Amino acid sequence: MMISIPDVLTPDQVRQCRQALGAAEWIDGKVTTGFQSGKVKDNSQLPEGHPVAQQVGQVILDALSKNLLFMSAALPAKVYPPMFNRYAGGQHFGAHVDNAVRQAPFGGPRIRTDLSCTLFFSQPDEYEGGELVVEDLYGHHAVKLPAGHMVLYPSSSLHHVRPVTAGARVSSFFWLQSMIRDDGERRTLFDMDMAILSLNKDMPDHPGILSLTNTYHNLLRRWVEV
């Protein structure tokens, strides 16, 4: 399941984070990639553990903890600390797949990468190119979202970032381990949750709401890994 999550950060939060990121020193993005990805990766990155990365990363995590659409779609168990990259001057990231397991920095836990996240800090009209392209059974999906918006997609997907031919693309990227390992099961639960929310809004006294809610939690109980 691939889903766009709008307005994760407010315009004020985006502005403050952009100021902090703009004042930081960036390094070659290859320092945190594996052998295969390193052959196709060309970007700049904020070092893990950099004070700005920790500061802005916490802003993102706090916002996501309150975002109902994210919580419903991801059902997160563990979240890798957000990282930050920058593309400019023709930089790009060729087709690759994310590592299945990542070790969080500074003695953090190992995380099975079920879902990948990209949160945009640059507005689409600030740069040319730079689309995140995710491949699945239904084709190629190009993503270029407004600043403060985020896309969530299965980490098992091949994906790439097209060259940025003008301007600069700044974003945060990270991974999470879901309580629901299987993408199809996670999609079923998400669709049910959205249906329950819709019924509660349009027909709050509908007798089917309780039945659907019961089924949702029984499926969650069956599939969840905690």
Residues 151 and 202 in one domain: no
Residues 84 and 100 in one domain: yes
pLDDT digits 0-9 by tens, 151-208: 999 999 999 999 999 999 999 999 999 999 999 999 999 999 999 999 999 999 898 9
- pLDDT for residue 130 is more than 80: yes
pLDDT digits 0-9 by tens, 11-51: 999 999 999 999 999 999 877 665 566 679 999 999 998 99
Residues 148 and 99 in one domain: yes
CATH number for the domain spanning 52: value is 2.60.120.620
Residues 63 and 154 in one domain: yes
Residues 119 and 200 in one domain: no
- pLDDT for residue 115 is more than 60: yes
Residues 97 and 189 in one domain: no
Residue 50, domain extent:
3-178
> Which residues in 137-178 belong to E strands, given as ranges?
139-143, 150-154, 159-161, 164-178
Q: Provide the 3-class DSSP secondary structure of residue 161.
A: strand
Residues 174 and 205 in one domain: no
CATH number for the domain spanning 213: value is 4.10.860
Report which of residues 39 and 148 the model is more confident about: 148
Counting the structural domains of the chain, the total is 2
Residues 165 and 207 in one domain: no
Residues 12 and 46 in one domain: yes
Report the alpha-carbon angle 126-136-5, nearest 5: 45
Structure confidence at residue 105 (pLDDT): 87
Residue 202: C-alpha distances to residues 198, 199, 209 (Å): 6, 5, 11
Residues 212 and 157 in one domain: no
Structure tokens at 93: 């990231």
